[in-house]
Amino acid sequence: MINFNAVYVLWLREMKRFVRAKSRIIGMLAMPLLFLSFMGMGFSGMSIPGMGGGVSYINFLVPGIIGMGMLFTSMFAGISVLWDREFGFLKEIMIAPVSRVSIVLGRIAGGATTAMIQGILILSISMVIGFGIPSFASFIMAAVFMLLIATAFIGLGLIFASKMRDMQGFNLIMNFVIFPLFFLSGALFPIDNLPGFIKVVSYIDPLTYGIDGLRASLIGASTFSMIFDLVVLLGISVTMVALGAYFFEKSESV
């Protein structure tokens, strides 16, 4: 049974940690802004094969960079589990009279909120360099895709964190997982430009559907339909949350 008070307390804890860590806010925006600044402006005058003549590269790139930022933030949210295990907080909440599902949902809620804040900040900053949002409805749909991206990859991060004990090892494994997910997602270039066998792998990548859904919402250009992206990503998110809860349930607090 879900204890919503426990979910709220864990969400509030994550929010307080986020607000107090000013360097964390700056750090999570630095890489996306570098990509937007150098790649967006550097390739702004070039024709990108497979992208279509009516879409500028900066417009094509912004949804991909939003997805990239949310991928990094969401996956590394799992490291908080290792920190809590290291300092004993995890043991305390594991013996509390609340279900572990409530603990998982609280962590996912906190991580998803911080990831969405990052995504909205990147979107806001991109408007300064020429990106435009077609309508308020487009923004709402983009926010839905941001939430699903965050939920899916926080769940995946929890799976890894539940099976690992070493923080350095977690960082190495996460980098090994994150970069293929990012480059195969079509964040920087259309996946139609990839060789056939790599394109098949891209279709397995959950981030592909998140970024494609963001492009459908924000620029009206996508490989798949928005409904298809939404259904696939929703299914992946539910699966990852369920698996994250299962592995967290089986994990040890010490």
- pLDDT tens digit sequence for 62-121: 898 999 888 888 877 777 777 777 666 666 666 667 777 788 888 888 888 988 988 888
Separation of alpha carbons 198 and 219, rounded Å: 25
On whether the CB atoms of residues 62 and 123 are closer than 8 A, the answer is: yes
pLDDT in tens, 177-211: 888 898 888 888 888 877 888 888 899 999 999 99
d(CA 123, CA 214): 11
Q: Give SS3 for 253.
A: coil
Find the range with the poorest average confidence among 72-76, 219-223, 226-230, 247-251. 247-251
pLDDT, residue 237, reads: 92
- The overall average pLDDT reported for the chain is 81
The C-alpha atoms of residue 169 and residue 127 are separated, in whole angstroms, by 38
Q: Which sign, positive or negative, has the C-alpha torsion 57, 63, 64, 69?
A: positive
Please, what is the end-to-end C-alpha distance for the chain in angstroms?
24
In percent, the amount of the chain with pLDDT more than 70 equals 83
CA distances from 145 to 107, 113, 120, 231 (A): 19, 13, 12, 11
Nearest C-alpha neighbor of 34 from the set 6, 76, 75, 69: 69
Q: How many C-beta neighbours within 10 Å does residue 62 have?
A: 28
Domain boundaries, the chain: 4-250
Residue 35, classed as helix, strand or coil, is helix
